[in-house]
Amino acid sequence: MDWTDPSTGRAATTPEQPHDDAEVERRLAAATSAWGRWRMEPPASRGALLERIATELEVRREALANTMAREMGKPVAQGALEVDKCARVCRFYAEEGAAMLEPTALDHPEFGASLRYDPLGCVLGVMPWNFPLWQVFRFAAPTLMAGNVVMVKHAPGVPGCARAIETLFEEVGAPRGLYTNLFVPVSKVHGLIADPRVAAVSLTGSTRAGRAVAGTAGANLKKCVLELGGSDPTVVLPGVDLSHAARTIVASRLANAGQSCIAAKRVLAAASLHDDLVDKLAVEMEAWTPQDPKDRASTMGPMARTDLRDEVARQVEASVTQGAVCVRGGRVPERAGAWYPPTLLTHVRPGMPAFDEEVFGPVVSVTSVPNYAEALTLANATSFGLGACLLGGGAEERQHFAEHVHAGACFVGDFVRSDPRLPFGGVKASGYGRELGRAGILEFVNHKTVCVSSR
C-alpha cells in the first residue's frame, strides 16, 4: 500500500496489500466464528488477554512510536506516551471490566428482576489517522472485554500502524478472528455495516463521515457510536495564573501538531487579561519548533498530509482577510512535506473560519470577551460540542459553566483530555454515544431485562 512521508513529501510503499472481496469474506467468517467462542469466555479470561496485550504494547513502545512518526508525523516522544495510554486502557478494563458487567438488580414487586449486559457480536470500528493506536484501543479494549469481537477499518495513511496492531494480537495468542484488520477503501464501509454479521459500528472521524455512517447504520437498524469533530472553547477569566493558562492552552493546542478533536481551538479571554495572555502565549509557542518527528527531542512534527495543511492555511488566510491579526506563524514554509508553523491569531470573531470551523492544525485563536456571560455565549456559539475548558473564575462561575456549557466534557482548571476512567464523547455535531469508563463498556451490549417469577 502506498502512503506519503509527511516529513519529506516522498512517496513510500509498505508490504500491506488491499483486501479483495474474497479476503474480506474470509475475515468476516472468522470473526463470526470467533464470537461464538469468545462470548462464552469468562470475564477473567478476557481480562487476562487484555493484560497480555498491555504488556506487549509496552515492549513494542519504541517501534510503534517510530511507525507513527514515519506514517503521520507524530513526534516519537508523543507516540511513546500514546502507546503507554493504550496499555493503560487495556489494564483498566482488564481490572475493572468484570465488575462493570455484573448484572444490575432491579426492584419489582412481582418478579426477581435484573438487567444483564450481553455482547452484541462483531463490532466494526472505523478509525482515524491522528491517534492511530489510541483511537483503536479505546474502542477495542472495552468492546472486547464486553465479549464482542472487533473488525477495524483503519485510515489509509497509517497501514503500518494498522498491521502492527493486528500482529500484536496474533502474537499474544488472541483467538483468530477476535481482532481483524481490514485494508479496504471507504467505499466498502457501507456494505460492511449492512452485512448481517456486523452487529454495530463505532466511528471516530469527521462530521461528514459521521452522517454517512449513522445513515447506513440507521437504515440497517444497528447501534452506532460517533466521536466526531470539535471546536473546543477555553474560557480564561480573572483569578487565573496567566503563565499556567498560557502553558495549558499551548500544550493542548500544539500537541500532535494541533490535530486533535479536543484541542483548545477557541480561546475566549476576558478583555482585562487579553493582551498579557497573548504575550505569554507567544512566548510559550517559541518552544514548539517543528522538526523531524523521529528526533526524540522534537515537540512538534509536520501535519499528517499536505492537503490537511493547505486547508489550515486557507482558514488562517481567510480569517486574516476578515480582520484577524496573525501575531506569529501563518505562512506555509518553503520545504518539502506537510509542515506548518505554530500560529497565533488574535481579534478572532464569529463569522471567521478560525471561529466557525474546526481548524485541525497548530493554530491558537484568541477572542476578547467583555465578561463571563459573553464568554459562555460564544463558547456555545458553535455547531460542535465535544469538550470545553474554564481557566480562572470564581466558584459560582465555575459551577455555572459546568452546568450550562454545551459539551460532552467540561474541564475546570486544566485542558480537556481523554482518560480510560472517564466517559468520553460529544453532543451536537460532535456525535453521540460514549467511549471509556463504565459508559463505554456498556455501549455495545444488549441491556437485557430478566424477570423470574416466584410461582
261 is catalytic: yes
Q: Order of strands across the sheet with 149-153?
A: 179-181, 149-153, 122-126, 198-204, 223-227, 431-432
Query: Buried (b) or exposed (e) across 345-380, using 16+ Cβ within 10 A?
Result: bbbbbeebbbbbbbbbbbbbbbbbbeebeebbebbe
Catalytic residue among 82, 96, 227, 284: 227
Are 325 and 347 contacting, i.e. CB atoms less than 8 angstroms apart?
Answer: yes
Are 53 and 172 contacting, i.e. CB atoms less than 8 angstroms apart?
Answer: yes
In the structure grid, which three cell numbers stand for residue 416, read together?
480537556
In the structure grid, which three cell numbers stand for residue 355, read together?
471561529
In the structure grid, which three cell numbers stand for residue 356, read together?
466557525
d(CA 18, CA 35): 24
Contacts of 152 (CB under 8 A, 6+ apart): 124, 125, 126, 127, 136, 139, 140, 162, 165, 179, 180, 181, 182
334 is catalytic: no
Nearest to 178 by CA among 225, 140, 139: 140
- How crowded is the C-beta side of 129, counted as CA atoms within 13 Å? 22
Are 196 and 173 contacting, i.e. CB atoms less than 8 angstroms apart?
Answer: no
Nearest to 144 by CA among 168, 114, 115, 180: 180
Catalytic residue among 261, 284, 389, 397: 261
d(CA 67, CA 195): 32
Residue numbers annotated as active site: 227, 261
